[in-house]
Amino acid sequence: MDDKETERAEVSLEPPKIQRLEESVVNRIAAGEVIQRPVSAVKELVENSLDANSTSINVVVKDGGLKLIQVSDDGHGIRYEDLAILCERHTTSKLSKYEDLQSIKSMGFRGEALASMTYVGHVTVTTITKGQLHGYRVSYRDGLMEQEPKPCAAVKGTQIMVENLFYNMIARKKTLQNSSDDYTKIVDLLSRLAIHHINVGFSCRKHGAARADVHSVTTSSRLDSIRTVYGVSVARSLMNIEASDNDPSTSVFKMDGFISDSNYVAKKATMVLFINDRLVECSALKRAIEIVYTATLPKASKPFIYMSIVLPSEHVDVNVHPTKREVSLLNQEIIVEKIQSAVELKLRQSNESVTYQEQTVASSPSSSLGTSKELQPKLLSPGSQSQKVPVHKMVRTDSSDPAGRLHAYLQTKPHKPLAENSSLTAVR
């Protein structure tokens, strides 16, 4: 053993002293986990607004959320008496005993989100409850009110403002400042929430901007909502899909959603998944579906998927991830398999009908347009100008129709890639 090694052996004999961390340190560490980036704060705030039965939720963001995140809703508001403990850790109106977790319907349950925000940013709450003449405004730091709530004018509901996020976490702030994509993440999050919660109107804009980047209105049609949020070209290539199982020995679930067909071509797959109304990620399901697309529609192998899965709440463990990004399901593998088969069946059916159409067109003499007049009316819509125009001279007349969308022209090559032409793409 040389000198150095002897030294190390001696040092390692002495165990380091264990000490209790100061509460403020514990709280800040925990907060850093719950609020990982600005988009996590937006998610928590919007979920609170949903839990408050809001029908309108408006988000304003400055500097990717680092300078300001403001979420305003028209929900039930917060009682004056509760404002003092509103932002303390583990204070919640949604859970009182552990067993409640089994059947919890609200998005939140830990009473940690608002507290976390006050440990890593400056939080100001303005709220009014039903029947009150005025509301209250109060600011918080490190879990506590900075002063007594001040009476103020307020419209129905609650507005929560988070300023200077991560002002006390220099390293995190630096890494986030270098990446400018948090606003994009926030827009993406609100788009996802908007197409699921169709009875709530959402908006999201940059501070000072006149135009909102997400703007949804309440509707009774999911497809309308997808059209508004993701654009006409996405909505046009969607097919409704359902699957279910009700056998306790295998799985119990119901799935309802929309999946893209062979006309939807994108660089990246989009999977919007809700399990019991929670926006979650499930990489196993996403992978299973992508495999089916690659095998069935190789040219449209990056799909757009919206799925809402509902299962008995006692089959879902919601308490497995600090930001609640994932849940764990009973019989997950079987559920994934069943949904995968449903997707495969749907794609095969749609593929067959496309192939059939193609064959009809290809075998028809009118595929060389302008030769057989009596056959054309069946294939071209009446009054369609294109009867006289050769294919290579055709122009796009509907600006919402992406360039290259050739079905309308009876080309026999319907799989030409589409530009993803939603207003959202521009933001992304």
Question: What is the number of the residue whose Cβ is closest to ligand ADP?
Answer: 108
48 is a site residue for Mg ion (CB under 5 A): yes
The set of residues, in sequence order, having a beta carbon less than 8 Å from that of 398 and lying 6+ positions away, is none
In the bound state with Mg ion, the residue whose beta carbon lies nearer, of 113 and 125, is: 113
113 is a site residue for Mg ion (CB under 5 A): yes
87 is a site residue for Mg ion (CB under 5 A): no
Q: How many other C-beta atoms are found inside a 10 Å radius of the C-beta of residue 357? A: 14
The two structure tokens encoding residue 284: 């196993």
Which position among 56, 93, 219, 412 is part of the footprint of ligand ADP (CB under 6 A)?
93
Total binding residues for ligand ADP by CB under 6 A? 22
116 is a site residue for Mg ion (CB under 5 A): no
How far is residue 246's CA from residue 156's CA, in Å, rounded to a whole number? Answer: 42
Contact partner at residue 92 from Mg ion, ligand ADP, none, CB < 5 to 8 Å by partner kind: ligand ADP
Contact partner at residue 73 from Mg ion, ligand ADP, none, CB < 5 to 8 Å by partner kind: ligand ADP
Instruction: State the binding string over 109-128 for ligand ADP (x if CB under 6 A, else -).
Output: xxxxxxx-------------
27 is a site residue for ligand ADP (CB under 6 A): no
How far is residue 20's CA from residue 363's CA, in Å, rounded to a whole number? Answer: 81
Which position among 36, 55, 56, 92 is part of the footprint of ligand ADP (CB under 6 A)?
92
DSSP string for residues in 268-330: S-EEEEEETTEEE--HHHHHHHHHHHHHH-GGG-S-EEEEEEE--GGGEE--SSTT----EET
In the bound state with ligand ADP, the residue whose beta carbon lies nearer, of 38 and 111, is: 111
In the bound state with Mg ion, the residue whose beta carbon lies nearer, of 124 and 184, is: 124
In the bound state with ligand ADP, the residue whose beta carbon lies nearer, of 91 and 412, is: 91
CA 219 to each of CA 50, 58, 274, 416: distance values in angstroms, whole numbers, following the listed order: 16, 17, 18, 33
Burial environment of residue 135 by CB neighbours within 10 A (0 to 12, 13 to 18, 19 or more): buried
In the bound state with Mg ion, the residue whose beta carbon lies nearer, of 48 and 262, is: 48
Distance of closest approach, residue 136 Cβ to Mg ion, in angstroms: 19
Considering only residues 156 to 195 of the shown chain, the ones binding ligand ADP according to CB under 6 A are: 158
C-alpha neighbours within 13 Å on the C-beta side of residue 259: 29
Q: How many other C-beta atoms are found inside a 10 Å radius of the C-beta of residue 50? A: 20
296 is a site residue for Mg ion (CB under 5 A): no
Beta strand spans in 34-156 (E): 56-62, 68-73, 122-128, 135-141, 144-145, 150-152
Distance of closest approach, residue 75 Cβ to ligand ADP, in angstroms: 5
> Which stretches of the chain bind ligand ADP, using CB under 6 A?
44, 48-49, 52, 73, 75-78, 86, 92-94, 108-115, 158
